[in-house]
């Protein structure tokens, strides 16, 4: 087996062939999203330096920013101590990581038993994806 495959073999892929990945802004440290990667997505991410995930909803590779233009330039790929979660340190191009138009997918905070939006929408999703965009 060649060396490039060896590092992929060290990831304990789940029963669906996936591993969770936390994506964090390399400059600010802000957590941007939690997504999933397949072996192919991780290999493509490492090869290109651009974040590629596995879309569980669409059952296909998802090149971050393929529709929105808000790509993620990968600065580092890390594997946690249990080797069951990845961490991507990225430069978030355009400052928007979430399909809702927020900078981060974690824009709600639990406050007195209610989820409260704490961060502004930076761009209307309809302006990013078209009129039928989900919020």
pLDDT in tens, 69-91: 999 999 999 999 988 999 999 99
- According to the model, what pLDDT value does residue 128 have? 87
Mean pLDDT, residues 111-117? 95
The domain locations on the chain are 3-121
Q: pLDDT tens, 34-66?
A: 999 999 999 999 999 999 999 999 999 999 999
Contacts of 33 (CB under 8 A, 6+ apart): 22, 23, 97, 98, 104, 105, 106
Whether the Cβ atoms of residue 32 and residue 23 lie closer than 8 Å to each other: yes
CATH superfamily of 3-121: Phosphoribosyl-AMP cyclohydrolase (3.10.20.810)
Q: Could you tell me the pLDDT band of residue 4, with boundaries at 50, 70 and 90?
A: low
Model pLDDT, residue 135: 46
Coil, helix or strand for 131? coil
Q: Is the dihedral of CA 118, 73, 71, 55 positive or negative?
A: negative
Cα torsion at 66, 108, 13, 75 (round to 10°)?
60
């Amino acid at each position: 087996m060649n060396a490039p495959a060896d590092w992929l073999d060290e990831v304990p892929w789940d029963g669906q062939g996936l591993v969770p990945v936390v994506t964090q802004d390399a400059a600010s440290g802000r957590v941007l999203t939690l997504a999933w990667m397949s072996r192919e997505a991780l290999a493509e991410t490492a090869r290109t330096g651009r974040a590629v995930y596995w879309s569980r909803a669409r059952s296909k590779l998802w090149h971050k920013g393929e529709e929105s233009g808000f790509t993620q330039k990968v600065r580092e790929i890390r594997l946690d101590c249990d080797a069951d979660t990845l961490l991507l340190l990225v430069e978030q191009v355009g400052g928007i990581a979430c399909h809702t138009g927020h900078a981060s997918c974690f824009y709600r905070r639990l406050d007195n038993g209610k989820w409260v939006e704490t961060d502004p929408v930076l761009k209307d999703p309809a302006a990013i994806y078209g009129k039928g965009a989900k919020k």
